[in-house]
Structure 1
């Protein structure tokens, strides 16, 4: 991985390899963006430099910026690069994933503590020790920066894969909708299959659709498994990021450097004095004991805190790289499969509609063949007469129904009148 830092609006400062092999900075000459027409730096030079420092081939280099892929061409000018910083670096991904190379650092060597009381030797030793502790401090800062960028880079990569999981779920939902439409059309066509010669073809097509329907939950479960695995990786990343945020090794190294520097300043005064009084000599010897203790603490902080935690992070990122590359590869395969399946389902739906049209046309033809010898014009006239006759029959039925209603209502009135005795009516014997 690499980070390209751009410090100002008009100047591109450097390409610094802080996450790959070779911790040295390759500083390119600053180019003024306003006058970049002559002698501008092109990306093919950057790609070659990254390849030489990280071992990642040009074809395998993938850049991400702010969580998104950053497509760059070799003939593009570097001045077109978006503004980057330590908090917003370019992240270099390699495919296939390889082991994250650690920074090639080496623990500084310290001279042995002078066994005897000697102002000149003690002063020289303290001076050399200050320089060595400065080296320790720089390496500690470098390892801390590397840990920050590794955690930031993998977090960005995890978020990118989370987004790809959501997109995969969306594609599966689209497939489910299209599949449901195909199954509905298949059901309509299958009802007409006995009247068509396409029965075997329709049955085979229905089996394929049913197979897709059965496997669709498997795809969803697979993407959900990817999501869960990424969640677990993100929890691990968050714990390591919290550990890094609470890491006080740089502050402790700075405090030890200040104490060692203070002893060195004292030894400098002692050397300039030349001959010390008894009490000053005892203080000098006592500070040498402190100096030796501080050196041991510097080594302890470096080995047990900085280097150990750095190695633990590298071990975690190696496992993350393998898992995330596997997830990304399978998501890419699923994306290609989903695209092809959607196209197949769309074509299948078109074929179903065409088959339905052919079946209906066949049925109409068979009905027409049941009345041979009738010309098309006569057939149309006959159909028209039948429609007219049906309308007349419907009108007649409505009239009869209306008459029946009238008769029933009148019958009900007459029945009531018959049951009601009329005193004016003469009785019959």
Structure 2
């Protein structure tokens, strides 16, 4: 046990160790509060006095939620070693988070954004106080879990920090070599004499490497054999890196250098976030300080990302979920352009559904009016693209092999790599199942919209047909129109014949729509059956079961690697564990391939066929709707002509009747003819009927116009 006047700790409670100090978990003697104490060793006292006290002075100036707090500076009782008493972060460092197999391919997007926010805020506080850290790396970013379960990251270890304004330089070298600016690396690691002075932008290089590491799970610059084994190639990669490249690697011994301008496909960040992050990495991972961004631009660009909101958009035709990063004050037009960049669907062809309802997005309106979305409840986008599905790298390609002999460290590293690939397979399996769920749900909503269109169009067609049929059913008009005395009514009879033809067309349209409804219902039943099969899938549980067993073995390997060796029996158990671990990994990948990937690919093919049926049905409904609208329009015109003609004939009959009453009585005809009186009454009835029909047809046309204004799915 060791102690100061107010704090107590045991040397077994080591949290971290460096060249000049060790950090332990300690307790306040009075309150029992957990703290971290940094105890300096003998080597630290060989440094100049001003260097020894620099860390105390820097920490006393700082007070920020994303920087580890300094509580006190005390001394141990016997040796009187200096002790920094600091805030204890119970969840380890960002490095320990990244070392976990779950994060072998980088952090999830939400967690990465938390890291970005915390690091940017902490660095901004440092710059406001004129301090350069000089040793930014995941191991010096501590993690604390807040009261609401959220991660809080804090900068720590200010042993290399010093006060430095933006235009000042320094010549001393500090830091960890994988994260060092190339100019500092040349002198500190390669030991090459050079007279370069360094500025505050060296922290930006370290931040760039740290952010890349957090996003991908690996370092950006990797020579063959690793950074520590091939230092000359490491220096070549960082100094020869082309503009815009964010990573470089040498795949084989003495092989060429390969450059990357994007983040690897294995990382968990969405393309929407990657498109915002990559330009920042490219401009802070710039070896020439004159070309490298300054902190002002770095803070401006990172703040721009952090102030954006995410709109989740599922492209139904492509079967891909997109994250669209926009500002809340942007317009819908800007949002649609962002969607266009990721999906290649032009704004004029973008139609959306949200939770089963059509969304009409006006380009000039603020994007704040877009509904709140999540990955499981996104906007559903229609387009004419061919289904391509989720793009991913087969985790089996990243599975290392165990060496035949027992090598505790190598076996641990291999198990860690295999387990990391297993967790990647689990994430992908969930994403594939979620993608199928979004496909089924989106298609179901589309068919519901089409069914609603069918019902409305059918109602209009049947209503129009009913009105036409009622107006055409008068036998009196047919018998009267054929009398020799009133041949003028032949034109009216022809117009009625045309109305009869239109009624037949509407009848066929009604039958057509009914058949379409039956087809959609059949497709929907098939969709529900497929969806139930996906819900019954147990591949996730099988993969998780394999991972749990592999994790148990991995933890045994983790303990064993710290031992100098194993006894005979322990070694035999270790060998069996290696065999079992390999079998579990093989089973896991087999389930992933056969139960997840193959079913997903088959689902994509079926989805493509269903989308074609949906588009064809929608186009067919549009044509039928146009036919119904055309029939209504023409029927309205015919009705108006017929009504006008009947009014004229009625008026003429009234005039003839008036003239007949004033003239002398006509000679008695051999046969009585009551047709004029009957015709006059009938004409008046028809005129009233035609006026009513005109009004009804006009109402139907208004309904059809409203149907045509409802956003339709884009053409195939």
Structure 2 length normalisation: TM-score?
0.46
Report the CA distance shift for 1:187/1:209 in structure 2 as closer, same or farther (over 3 A).
farther
> How far apart are residue 366 of structure 1 and its match?
4.0
| Structure 2 unmatched runs, 5+ | 1-269, 273-306, 665-716
Cα distance change of structure 1 residues 66 and 188 upon mapping to structure 2, 3 Å threshold:
farther
Cα deviations by residue, 1:277-324 (Å, 9 ceiling, x for unpaired): 111111111111111111111111111111112112211211111111
CA distance in 2, matches of 1:201, 1:234: 50
Over 3 Å counting, the alpha-carbon distance change for 1:255 and 1:28 in structure 2 is: farther
* Match among 357, 361, 367 for residue 647 of structure 2: 357
Which of these two proteins has the greater Rg computed from alpha carbons? 1
1:241-296 alpha-carbon deviations (Å, 9 max, x no partner): 11121122222222222211211111112221231111111111111111111111
Q: Which structure shows the higher helix fraction?
A: 1
**What is the total number of aligned residue pairs between the two structures?**
355
Task: Output the CA distance in 2 between the equivalents of 1:21 and 1:50.
Answer: 14
CA displacement, residues 51-105 of structure 1 (integer Å, 9 cap, x when unaligned): 11112111111011232321112221111112334454311112xx332221111
Q: Is contact 2:506–2:628 with CA below 8 Å preserved after alignment?
A: no
Aligned to 1:303: 593
Q: Match for residue 171 of structure 1?
A: 460
- Hey, what does 1:15 align to over in structure 2? 311
Q: Is the 8 A contact 1:21 1:53 kept in 2?
A: no
Q: 1:41 matched to which residue of 2?
A: 330
In the alignment, what sits opposite 1:70? 359
Partner deviation per Cα, 1:164-220 (whole Å, 9 max, x = no partner) = 111121011111122123314696266245444544423432332232233333212
| CA drift at 1:344 | 2.8
Question: Where does residue 253 of structure 1 map in the other structure?
Answer: 543
Counterparts of residues 7-156 of structure 1 (less than 5 Å): 13-19=309-315, 20=318, 25-28=323-326, 31=328, 40-94=329-383, 97-108=384-395, 109=397, 110-156=399-445
Q: Distance in 2 between matches of 1:360 and 1:170?
A: 34
Contact between 2:319 and 2:439, CA under 8 Å: does it hold in 1?
no
Contact persistence 2:387–2:604 (CA under 8 A): yes
Q: Is the 8 A contact 1:134 1:257 kept in 2?
A: yes
Residue 522 of structure 2 corresponds to: 232
Task: Please state if 1:263 is matched with 2:553.
Answer: yes
Cα separation, partners in 2 of 1:198 and 1:114, compared to 1, 3 Å: farther
Greater strand fraction, Structure 1 or Structure 2: 2
Do residues 287 (structure 1) and 574 (structure 2) align? no
> CA separation in 1, counterparts of 2:374 and 2:563?
50
Q: Structure 1, residues 365-386: CA drift from partner, whole Å, max 9, x if none?
A: 4455557867xxxxxxxxxxxx
Label 1:361 to 1:27 Cα distance change in 2 as closer, same or farther (>3 A). closer
Residue deviations 1:19-78, cap 9 Å, x none?
44876644445x4xxxxxxxx122222111211111211111101123232111222111
Matched with 1:323 is: 613
Asked if structure 1 preserves the Cα contact closer than 8 Å seen for 2:450 and 2:618, the reply is yes
Q: Secondary structure at the match of 1:83?
A: coil
Alignment match, 1:243: 533
2:630 aligned partner: 340
- More deviation, 289-298/172-181: 172-181
Kept in 2: contact 1:43–1:76 (CA 8 A): yes
Instruction: Please say if residues 429 and 540 of structure 2, whose CA atoms lie closer than 8 Å, have aligned partners that are also in contact.
Output: yes
- Secondary structure at the aligned position of 1:272 is classed as coil
Tell me the alpha carbon deviations over residues 306-350 of structure 1, each in whole angstroms, 9 at most, x when there is no partner. 111211221121111111111112222222332332233233333
Alignment RMSD (CA, Å): 2.7
Name stretches of at least 5 consecutive residues in structure 1 with no aligned partner. Answer: 5-10, 32-39, 375-429
CA contact (8 A) 1:43 1:78 kept: yes
Write the deviation string for residues 146-167 of structure 1: whole angstroms up to 9, x where unpaired: 1111111111111111111111
Q: How does 1:392-411 map to 2 (within 5 A)?
A: none
Counterpart of 2:59 in structure 1 is: none
Change (3 A) 1:336 1:132: same
